[in-house]
Amino acid sequence: MESLVAAVRCGANAVYLGTKEINARRGAANFDFDELEKAVDYCHARDVKVYLALNILVADGELKAAYDTVKTALTLGVDAFIVQDLGLAKMMKNHFPTAVLHASTQCSVNTPDGFKKLEELGFTRAVVPREMSLDEIKEIRKSTSLELEAFVHGALCMCVSGQCYLSSMIGSRSGNRGLCAQPCRLAFSADGSKSCDLSLKDLSLIRHINELSKAGVVSLKIEGRMKRPEYVAASVTACKKALNDEYDNVFESTLKSVFSRTGFTDGYLTGKRYDMFGTRQKEDVVSACDVLKELSHLYDNENPLVPIDLEFSCKEGERPCLKATALSKTVTVYGEIAQKAINKPTTAETVGIRISKFGNTPYKVNKCDVSIDEGLIIPASELNGMRRQAVEELMKCERPGVYCVEYDEKPAQRSNNTDEKYYTARFLDPESIPDRHPFKRIFIPVWCNDEDFIDNRAGVEIPRGLFGMEGELKKRLERLRRIGVKNALCSNLGAYKTAQEMGFRIFGDFGLNIFNSISAAMFNSPIISFEATLEQISKINADDKGVIAYGRLPLMITRNCPIKNHLGCSQCTGKLTDRKGFDFPVLCSKYPCVEILNSTVLYMGDRQNEINADFLHFYFTTESKSQVEKIISSFESGAPLDEKYTRGLYYRGVL
């Protein structure tokens, strides 16, 4: 609450916050419902909106709790909801038609078609990825009528939001579930030197605020829910200064002192991505001590930002009346009947001064009209009491009525036949596809040669990261359609919409983060998130659902290559090594993202009967053709793998 107060008093127009369970900062000191009520009342009395963050993946067994949270929040007056899970968003629109939805950056949408799809799904605002350049944001602005919101200050993840599985695979703490342990801040080195090649500096686009505004961004977002109130106060104040052309090097230095990782970066927005890496140093920590006390004074007192109109009248023999209007709400209070003055009567000027004293309240007088008959006296205590009563009445929150459709707690479950599974596969390298194989569907990356698609009768896998490349993608897909490619494997909303409109038969890939029955039903033959347990997967009611049963799982995609940054492409080692000596392959592509793979392969060949799904998907990356043939043989015989492997998260799950 102290951070919320700091944000409001320093001039934030809206705050976003989480409840105790369903939000992307579950480790923060979040709000219970009583605290949420107080927060909403506090903000609304000061013309500040409240957005509730529900931006995590939600399992079937959690949808009822999510429904209850939304219903309570709407009853308390929450203005909008920040959402990642597409199934949750659909449930909300079906059950709460008036709920306002903002698409979280965790939705991993990075193309014009993706933002169009968000609009079709009922979102009114979307947070653009932090990895986008200014030109890419402009491209999005031209494609949609959605409001666009952009992060302008705060921590930067190395991975594209919503596509990071590093924390969950290493320690079962998932960023998609709000409990990221930030292992990327630890040593992952391109040369074995224990350098932190996945740790980025903090983002700061405060000097680019006017450029963002011209590009069509309507909301500037500060990442601060795990930060102390002094940080919140400083960053909000910095943005306000920039909007008024008052932001200077002195205050930027203060902002760096309160928290940074050897400075700030604007590399994604400008496209200059060569100096973006940094870690929290002792000097960074020490410098904060000198500025925290000073910054705490930024939110000592109320910031009178709410205009109030006053109308006072007092006639002989009648009770004095004060009408106060603020934020389209008018209240009327009365005092005791005024007496005839013996010596010094109360003047209109005196009344105006008394009723305009709104110190330590959010109000500032916009207009004050006073009418009082001559010869009357009104005690100062009476005028002060009328003013205080008016303030109390104005600050009372009215609870909105909520229309909702009751939640069906027992959706019908489809019984999957686990004994008749079929196999599908994606191959990074077409050369590794065996001449004979058991796969019903094969997919290879969009950049492969035409002959590879024709010779293998393969479908096209569309990359998860398509920043600024939708036009080029469409040209390539049109070519593939002409040579007979019919199937497309899609890992994000943009790719799904693009391929569908171009006439491909589309299939949902793991990058869609499908975690419940509602989201699974939105896509054809969906591959369920590998962050779900086998038990959770078995409860997902969807036609033709799949599970990744083999592969070196992709833990990150990033627009900034950690090896190129540290060593340069000429000395590429093709891997990162963590502090325990495990190697994580790093793969380049012809599209603008680098993929970081898990150190060991996932293998479920000897546990196939425990997987309640229609098909098993193989994710081939670095394997040779002979290795692929060996894997297929192991699956067909149900034998254990004779090398090191993992069961992933299918049994241990994520928190």
Q: What is the mean pLDDT of residues 63-82?
A: 95
Q: What is the mean pLDDT of residues 253-277?
A: 92
Residue 586 CA, chain-centre distance (Å), reads: 26
Give residue 588's pLDDT band: very low, low, confident or very high (50, 70, 90).
very high
For residue 283, pLDDT beyond 60: yes
What local confidence, expressed as pLDDT, does residue 343 receive?
87
Give residue 191's pLDDT band: very low, low, confident or very high (50, 70, 90).
very high
CA neighbor of 554 nearest in space, from 466, 648, 625, 462: 648
Both tokens of residue 179? Answer: 């409990």
Mean pLDDT rounded to a whole number for the chain: 94
- DSSP class of residue 240? H
Model confidence over 562-586: pLDDT tens digits? 999 999 999 999 999 999 999 999 9
For residue 363, pLDDT beyond 80: yes
Give residue 646's pLDDT band: very low, low, confident or very high (50, 70, 90).
very high
Cα–Cα distance for residue pair 629/292, rounded to 1 Å: 61
Cα–Cα distance for residue pair 216/204, rounded to 1 Å: 18
What local confidence, expressed as pLDDT, does residue 413 receive?
59
For residue 159, the tally of other CB atoms under 10 A from its CB is 24
Residue with tokens 């927005």: 269
Model confidence over 205-236: pLDDT tens digits? 999 999 999 999 999 999 987 789 999 999 99
User: Of 156-160, 351-355, 405-409, 524-528, which gets the smallest average pLDDT?
Assistant: 405-409
Cα–Cα distance for residue pair 580/600, rounded to 1 Å: 14
CA dihedral 516, 517, 521, 527 (to 10 degrees): 50
What local confidence, expressed as pLDDT, does residue 30 receive?
78
Burial (CB < 10 A; 0-12, 13-18, 19+), residue 443, is buried
* % pLDDT > 90, the chain: 87
For residue 411, pLDDT beyond 70: no
Cα–Cα distance for residue pair 134/129, rounded to 1 Å: 11
Give residue 407's pLDDT band: very low, low, confident or very high (50, 70, 90).
confident
Q: What is the mean pLDDT of residues 396-420?
A: 72
Both tokens of residue 241? Answer: 């200064």
3-state secondary structure of 557: strand
3-state secondary structure of 634: helix
Q: What is the mean pLDDT of residues 480-490?
A: 98
Both tokens of residue 595? Answer: 């993929």
Cα–Cα distance for residue pair 393/380, rounded to 1 Å: 20
Residue with tokens 């959402």: 83
